[in-house]
């Protein structure tokens, strides 16, 4: 159970081996092997301080791993910064740094990848095209917002999360990384975001989901990776495990 079974490289959208990261004398994680399959939802779980967030940040260029190899889309790709990771096709849904409150839903969806029309040397925003495209992006994922012309400030936490996920998916990303996407949400909003993640899975979007809600992880993901005290402790298929087994793996009782 605890020996990671290996997936052929062509099936993995992202993979790492022997990955280690320490901050000064504190080891965040050591010698981690991890893979996420194309078109699947891959969950990373673990107790607080197990190293899961740091691992994910090391995958997307926020942190630089001290040792080990990282492969993305079949190529060895260490990312020097989040921008490089984004250009390679990894979109991260940040917990708090996702949207600009004062801009509208449509503006947020197209921020920094605006559609422009060129007239001579000048480029002007094609706002009609962006609004049209924003509507279809939202309807493809069945996301309900009062209006795409609404400022994001006035939306609920769940709607905001849905829009940041929509933004990440809509950019044509090969891999969407979500760090605790429902941590700050209420029951109903959590259900909505979970439904959205399920739709992503149906549409074969590759997703990495960091969570410490075991039930949620079992509901949403295909493969679950368990971290414990800075090591990758185990990996299981979500369909073949139980909540009790996950608790045992996370706490080390297994």
Cα 53 to Cα 178: distance, rounded to the nearest angstrom: 10
Contact 225, 231 (CB under 8 A): no
Secondary structure of residue 157 in the 3-state scheme:
helix
| Region near another protein per CB under 8 A, out of 20-28, 35-43, 143-151, 192-200 | 143-151
Q: Which is nearer to another protein, 104 or 223 (CB)?
A: 104
Q: Which is nearer to another protein, 131 or 201 (CB)?
A: 131
Instruction: Return the residue of 26, 76, 80, 97 that touches another protein, per CB under 8 A.
Output: 97
Cα 51 to Cα 231: distance, rounded to the nearest angstrom: 8
| Region near another protein per CB under 8 A, out of 6-14, 33-41, 142-150, 184-192 | 142-150
Place of tokens 């949620």: 216
Q: How many residues bind another protein (CB under 8 A)?
A: 31
To another protein, the closest distance from the beta carbon of 37 in angstroms equals 27
Burial readout 38-67 (b: 16 or more C-beta within 10 A, e: otherwise) = bebbbbbbbeeebbbbbbbbbbbbbbebee
Does 156 engage in binding with another protein (CB under 8 A)?
no
Rounded to 5°, angle at Cα 103 from 100 and 104: 120
To another protein, the closest distance from the beta carbon of 17 in angstroms equals 28
Q: Which is nearer to another protein, 147 or 204 (CB)?
A: 147
Cα 77 to Cα 42: distance, rounded to the nearest angstrom: 20
In the window 101-120, what residues touch another protein (CB under 8 A)?
101-104, 107, 111-112, 114, 116
Instruction: Return the residue of 27, 69, 88, 150 that touches another protein, per CB under 8 A.
Output: 150
Give the residue from 9, 86, 76, 29 showing the smallest Cα distance to 225. Answer: 29
Cα 141 to Cα 149: distance, rounded to the nearest angstrom: 18
Does 67 engage in binding with another protein (CB under 8 A)?
no
Does 99 engage in binding with another protein (CB under 8 A)?
yes
Give the residue from 186, 187, 162 showing the smallest Cα distance to 176. Answer: 162
Does 139 engage in binding with another protein (CB under 8 A)?
no
Q: Which is nearer to another protein, 19 or 130 (CB)?
A: 130
Q: Which is nearer to another protein, 93 or 185 (CB)?
A: 93
Instruction: Kindly state the tokens that stand for 120.
Output: 């001579």
To another protein, the closest distance from the beta carbon of 167 in angstroms equals 9
Does 74 engage in binding with another protein (CB under 8 A)?
no
Provide the sign of the torsion angle of the four alpha carbons 54, 59, 63, 68, taken in this order. positive
- Which residues lie near another protein (CB under 8 A)? 82-83, 86, 94, 97-104, 107, 111-112, 114, 116, 122-125, 127, 131, 146-151, 153-154
């Amino acid at each position: 159970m605890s020996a990671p079974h290996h997936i052929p490289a062509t099936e993995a959208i992202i993979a790492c081996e022997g990955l280690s990261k320490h901050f000064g004398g504190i080891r965040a994680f050591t010698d981690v092997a991890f893979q996420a399959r194309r078109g699947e939802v891959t969950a990373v779980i673990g107790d607080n301080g197990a190293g899961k967030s740091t691992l994910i940040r090391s995958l997307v260029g926020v942190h630089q791993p001290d040792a080990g190899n990282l492969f993305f889309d079949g190529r060895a790709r260490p990312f020097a910064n989040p921008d490089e990771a984004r250009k390679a096709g990894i979109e991260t849904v940040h917990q708090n740094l996702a949207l600009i409150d004062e801009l509208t839903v449509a503006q947020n969806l197209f921020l920094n990848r605006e559609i422009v029309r060129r007239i001579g040397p000048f480029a002007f925003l094609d706002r009609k095209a962006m609004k049209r495209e924003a509507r279809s992006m939202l309807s493809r994922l069945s996301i309900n917002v009062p209006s795409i012309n609404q400022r994001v400030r006035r939306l609920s936490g769940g709607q905001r999360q849905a829009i940041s996920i929509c933004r990440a998916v809509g950019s044509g990303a090969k891999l969407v990384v979500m760090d605790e996407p429902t941590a700050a949400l209420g029951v109903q909003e959590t259900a909505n975001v979970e439904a959205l993640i399920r739709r992503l899975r149906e549409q074969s979007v590759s997703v990495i989901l960091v969570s410490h809600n075991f039930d949620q992880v079992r509901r949403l993901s295909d493969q679950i990776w368990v971290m414990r005290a800075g090591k990758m402790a185990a990996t299981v298929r979500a369909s073949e495990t139980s909540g009790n087994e996950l608790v045992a793996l996370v706490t080390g009782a297994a």
